[in-house]
Structure 1
Amino acid sequence: MFSKRIREAFEKFARYTTLHGINRIVSSKHVIGKLLWTCIVLTCIAVCFMQIYKLGVQYGSKQVNTKVSIRYQKVYFPAVSFCNLNPVSYSKMKQKADDGDYLAKHLVRIHRKIRTKIDKQFEKASTSKGNRGKRDVTGATTNSHAPLNVTIQTSNYKVLYGGTVTLKCEVTGSSVPFVVQWLKQEGQRTININSKNTSKYNHNYDNGSEISTASLTIFNTDHKDTGVYICTTRNINGNDTIQNVLLSLEVTGSLKMLINVNQSDYVPYVASDAGIRLVIHEHGSQPFLENSGISVATGFRTDISLIQFENFLSNIGGTLGLWIGMSLISIGELVELGFFLLRSMARQKKVIETQTTVNGEKAAEPSKGSKNLFVYLGMNPIDEGNGDK
């Protein structure tokens, strides 16, 4: 009996659901009932359209670019933009100060050279001819030894990231002991490669031989080590320099992007945080790093993975979600279903309470497997054999 009531409730729900709720409005006899069902129908329709709008916005904001072809094509890779959250750093300030000191020292050296040349011109004008000849003889005796000559066999060196490379330059033309110094070009200035850092560099050259090979070995190479290196030699006879030694990293198949945040360069009270912020976007579009993106904190290793699905399901995913959203029962329909269930249960309880006493007896079984039930409502059985008394 209870299952029959539940089935009837579901049938009524299917007949008078939100999409067919107009029948409820028409069949209602009272004005309040009509207004109530009108509000329910309009609310459910509004909720349905709101769901469709939200799914449409979600589908439009998350487009997937795919290329399906039987031939090999280049894999689409998005653009990556990043910015430093620390606008001021100690190293940049120090570099500007060092550049200013270098420029000032350079101007002082030029001024001293000019003063020295002027003083020599006055000395030459005031000295005698014999003294000038004496200086020429001394100069000829000093220049009797051949000057140094530096040559290189290989000018371009390539090394894998984290590997070891040895830069070489040959020194010829003198048996007098000499000194080799390796420099690295950094913009408009050069820095000295310090051999005391044995974990990073190693100098090796034969001092005093007629043909010597001066080498510089670099361990654990990274992007900072790439650039132009200068090999300089000098002794009492003069000096020579070669500047065509180029070191570059060999590119492998994998894509790597290494960003040095320089946590030690963080200047407090200028920026709120130290680190970087990056955003992944399409090529040609302007990145908005303030409103979107990922903040990469210092002191941690952050791995960002990109996954690209190239099948037709990636294109119909939004359509499938829209179809599922339209097929779901709205909130109003669920309320209506609960109302029908409660009404059916209340009606069944009322019928049971007002029903007269029901007595049931089992009759004799005339045949195997069949049963007859006789129901008597509020009366006694009639005895045909006795008649009226």
Structure 2
Amino acid sequence: MYTSVSDVISSLVSESSLHGLPKILSSKRWYQRILWICLVLVTFGFLVHQLYQLFCEYKRYPVKTKVSMKRATLPFPAVSFCNMNPMKKSQMKHIKGTELYNYVMNKFSFDASSTSIYGSEFDNNDYNLDPNDYQYKNDLYLDDYVPSSGSVNESLVTNVNTNTHDNDYAYFDSFSDYHDLFSDDVEESDLLNALDDFINFVSRQRALQDDPRSEEVKRFMVLFQNETKDTRAHLGHSIDDILINCSFNGKICSAKNFTLFQTLDFGNCYTLSSEMYETRRTGPRNGLQIILQLEKFEQVGDFLEGSGVRLVIHPPGTLPFPAEEGFTLSSGYETSIGMKMVSLSRSKPPYGKCVDGDDFYRTYGVHYTVTTCINLCRNTKVLHFCNCRPSENIVDIEYMNQFADLPVCSLVEKTNSTTKQSCENYVYYQIEEGVIKCECESACNETVYKSTLSGRVWPRESFLNDELLGTACSYRNYSYCREKGRQLLHVQHS
């Protein structure tokens, strides 16, 4: 019978399964008791340490990466491509009298004998184009950029920079103006540091010499951006003109299966995507086969150094960005592309940090990708802070059409002590330095296509003459088509 609390505690300790505690009571000498107390405290400390480590590991929400491979019927990816020539020479009648027309006519080489192509010849479908009229004038190209003395043509640089101002960024010296623009979105302490960094960055950039060729292309893109979407669509290559043949898994596809989208770098681009397209077997005959006519004779003088197609393979429903993604296919070649689909699933918070994309889709009407998010962030931040359209590529979605009436930032005249272009450049700098946050995390579910390319010279001359030209000329009246017709007629008569 227990007579006190100490008796109860002594009984519990002496009968405890923790071996060290009974030894403390049963020890007959004081130093034995101290030794057991120390051992119990040390082991208890190890216990606490282990529990703390387990708790920390739990709070880190660790994940396990699982990789599996399987063969199955897969939806065919969306395929987007662009003719790398953004503007057809024969369609410049649509912009005659505009600043873009005058700039192109003055800056890029033209054959004087072909100036009639801008006249009434193109008011009907009886095209009379001679590919020989549209060859590059390399001698003029070199004379424009590298004079015989080897120095840069200063008048050319001056013309390129007619819209720049020596004091574009002077208004940033007044913190009050700068504060009004960004104070609602950026911490004030970050503003001052970012302002100093930006001014130093601009100073370093201005100490470097501009490449005249790059500046001309930038100027062209700005003026091209200033045209309406309908005008740019008329200027670019039509899918009806460039698509000669298309088949998927042995079934014919046509121009009506392609969707138009526009980019600042390449003009008209086209996407082929359908839920009906599925991949069941490997091999070139079980995939997509396309033959394209690049219309090299339509290139505008020396604007392009070459010709080709920019191609992007991407998940259906997502936006392609040909200038940033994909690869270039050369003309005069057959390119075979083998693909492997990789499906990534990332854990949501608290086990991971990813975006499911539902809110993004409700806002913009397109599926979420990191590239789409970053590009839209750059576009919308410039629109928000500067109240003008970005001078760089604008994402071609319906959401952005509401801003079509705003002027292009770099074409807005300087007012007071500020310019829209300097505001635009500063917004980009803030985004790139992380002062303005875009919050573009990886998607929780993402599909990536890994590609392998191989190719050969194409086509064989007999195939070109016997079949390909006939297919290409069946609905067009190019000059080489009429020559081909005369050759066939001569063969028949003989």
TM-score (norm 1): 0.22
* Structure with the largest fraction of helix: 2
TM-score, normalized by length of structure 2?
0.19
The structure that has the greater radius of gyration is 1
